[in-house]
Amino acid sequence: MNEMRLYVWDEFCPDYTDGLAFSIADTERHAREMIADRMGYVPANWGECKTYSLSIPIAFAVAGGG
């Protein structure tokens, strides 16, 4: 089993604005499968995937548009 990592897509499923998806998994493939299962379908546009080690502190924030 690979090391668990944080996978983040911050340009996920853009429509009017970008969405956000994240998962903690051992591979990007597993991360995508878990997100697709959660959503009930496989998204067409994921955007770029960024990965982060779980051994360092990290934070994200996404403000709502308006």
Mean pLDDT of 34-56: 95
* 27 belongs to a structural domain: yes
Three-state secondary-structure class, residue 14: coil
Residue 16 DSSP class: S
Considering its fold, how many domains does the chain have in total? 1
* 59 belongs to a structural domain: no
At 17 the pLDDT is 80
User: Residue 66: pLDDT above 80?
Assistant: no
* 58 belongs to a structural domain: no
- What are residue 28's phi and psi, to 5 degrees? -65, -35
Mean pLDDT of 4-9: 96
Mean pLDDT of 16-35: 94
Q: Which percentage of the chain shows pLDDT scores above 90?
A: 74
* 63 belongs to a structural domain: no
* 48 belongs to a structural domain: yes
User: Residue 1: pLDDT above 70?
Assistant: no
* 66 belongs to a structural domain: no
Q: What is the mean pLDDT of the chain?
A: 91
Range of 42's domain? 5-53
